[in-house]
Chain A
Amino acid sequence: MKEPFEHVVAAHGATVLRVCRAVVGPHDADDAWSETFLSALRAYPDLPDDANVEAWLVTIAHHRAVDVLRRAARAPLPVGDLPERPADDQPLDRDLWTAVAALPDRQRRSLAYHHLGGLPYAEVAALIGGTAQAARRAAADGVAALRRTYGTQRTDRTADGPQRPRAAEGAQRPHTSDGRRHACRTSEGSTP
């Protein structure tokens, strides 16, 4: 017997949003999330009752993310023209998205599908090609690369300290917002 789809959205909406943000960047994540849940809603009545719903959603998110990026014909934008955030929301961690978007495609996807989406490496490999071992290695390389780039760029704790003034610290940062955006646009070209 199947849960009402509302419960699926409530239980897995946040996980799918994390995966979408990591794979396509926060700029296109909303579209990828919407397309994922709309596809899932369409197919839901035919999903076997004993299926792993979260793994199923992450698989759909993979396909919709491919569509979204193909439509835009480019690599993920890490920040893009995001709408203004309400005051009670966490500020966007630009360093994080810049670092994620700079990862080679396979590393970013392996990391997102396994560490954020909970897919076993064998299922990650089924989505991105190659072996489970290769997917494991790509995810580990991705995490290591993030620890290097994200760690070195961060000078404060944005994600934990809402509304903390950052202007002064921003001046010491290696990238201006233009430079950051440009750097991320080139990430697709680094994959074979």
Chain B
Amino acid sequence: MTDLNPLAALHRAGGERHDLDRLRARLVVRAGETDLLDVAYRTVDSPLGPLLVAATPRGVVRLAFAVQDHGAVLRDLAARVSPRVLAAPRPLDAVARELEEYFAGRRRTFDVPLDLQLVHGFRRSVVERLPDIAYGTTASYAAVAAAAGSARAVRAVGTACALNPVPLLVPCHRVVRSDGTPGRYAGGEAAKRTLLALERDVHGGPA
């Protein structure tokens, strides 16, 4: 059974996972040092399933739920931000920690810098106002439209929330229908209910 085919041996000699993992880790470090890491990403486990978080050197640019298809989100980032996209946990350690604290009920606002380059115009002004809605409270789409300076743009507010590139970090889940029902959410309506319940419990719980 001695295999003396040198080409087969050379083919076998390049694909050890251990070596490639080590080389990939080294590439990420070198890319960061040479300003070539345009988009770093990792996944973070959460009660809502795995979350994809991606950051540029300016800040977190994208957060996506599993239902949004992480592969599609990465391809979208490659097309809209930069194709220099690499899995790199280190630059996302801070946001991973803050998300963990949030889901544990120990954090009410996020401190990590955001990069909102994926939102423009009216949608941008909506997204920038959403952090004004305090933890544990909600606002109606109509109220947010009014606050963003265009009371009749209720539908546009709905779109802005649906397309919020950094849900959770920018709390679009706190925007609900006028009748008090949660309404739609990028992570699914059930995820929105879960988040509102978490915040209500923590907010209303013992100080």
Given A4-B77, A34-B30, check contact A9 B9 (CB 8 Å): no
Interface residues of A in 1-40 (CB under 8 A from B): 1-7, 9, 13-15, 17-19, 21-22, 26, 30, 33-34, 37-38
Q: How far is the CA of A142 from the CA of B84 in the complex (A)?
A: 37
Say yes or no: is A101 at the interface (Cβ < 8 Å to chain B): no
Say yes or no: is B11 at the interface (Cβ < 8 Å to chain A): yes
- On whether the beta carbons of A116 and B12 are closer than 8 Å, the reply is no
Say yes or no: is A81 at the interface (Cβ < 8 Å to chain B): no
- On whether the beta carbons of B84 and A157 are closer than 8 Å, the reply is no
Given A34-B26, A38-B27, check contact A6 B11 (CB 8 Å): no
Q: Name which residue of chain A comes closest to B35, CB basis.
A: A42
Residues of A contacting B5 in the complex (Cβ-Cβ under 8 angstroms) = 147
The stretch of B15-23, B137-145, B150-158 in contact with A is B15-23
| Smallest CB separation, A121 vs chain B (Å) | 16
- On whether the beta carbons of B79 and A2 are closer than 8 Å, the reply is yes
- On whether the beta carbons of B14 and A9 are closer than 8 Å, the reply is no
Say yes or no: is B178 at the interface (Cβ < 8 Å to chain A): no
- On whether the beta carbons of B6 and A156 are closer than 8 Å, the reply is no
Say yes or no: is B75 at the interface (Cβ < 8 Å to chain A): yes
Say yes or no: is B87 at the interface (Cβ < 8 Å to chain A): yes
The number of A-B residue pairs with CB atoms under 8 Å apart is: 130
- On whether the beta carbons of B2 and A100 are closer than 8 Å, the reply is no
- On whether the beta carbons of A6 and B4 are closer than 8 Å, the reply is no
Interface flags, B15-42, vs A, CB<8A=1, else 0: 1101110011011001100101001010
Residues of A contacting B84 in the complex (Cβ-Cβ under 8 angstroms) = 5, 41, 44-45
Q: How far is the CA of A34 from the CA of B23 in the complex (A)?
A: 7
| Smallest CB separation, A192 vs chain B (Å) | 24
| Smallest CB separation, A35 vs chain B (Å) | 9
How many chain B residues sit at the interface, stated as a range, is 35 or more
- On whether the beta carbons of A143 and B6 are closer than 8 Å, the reply is yes
Given A21-B13, A143-B6, check contact A6 B74 (CB 8 Å): yes
- On whether the beta carbons of B34 and A1 are closer than 8 Å, the reply is no
Interface residues of A in 156-176 (CB under 8 A from B): 156-157, 159-160
Say yes or no: is A151 at the interface (Cβ < 8 Å to chain B): yes
Given A14-B20, A115-B10, A143-B6, check contact A4 B78 (CB 8 Å): yes
Given A3-B78, A34-B26, A100-B10, check contact A147 B4 (CB 8 Å): yes
Contact of A6 among B16, B26, B85 (CB under 8 A): B85
- On whether the beta carbons of A13 and B6 are closer than 8 Å, the reply is no
Q: Could you list some 29 contacts between A and B, CB below 8 A?
A: A2-B78, A2-B79, A4-B75, A6-B85, A14-B20, A17-B19, A18-B10, A18-B13, A30-B19, A34-B23, A34-B26, A41-B86, A44-B83, A45-B82, A45-B84, A86-B18, A89-B16, A90-B13, A96-B9, A111-B7, A112-B10, A116-B14, A146-B6, A147-B5, A147-B6, A151-B6, A157-B1, A159-B12, A159-B13
Known: A3-B78, A150-B6. 12 other contacts (CB 8 A): A5-B86, A6-B74, A17-B19, A18-B13, A19-B14, A38-B27, A38-B30, A38-B31, A96-B6, A96-B9, A146-B7, A157-B1
Interfacial residues, chain B to chain A (CB-CB below 8 A):
1-7, 9-16, 18-20, 23-24, 26-27, 30-31, 34, 36, 39, 41, 74-75, 77-79, 82-87
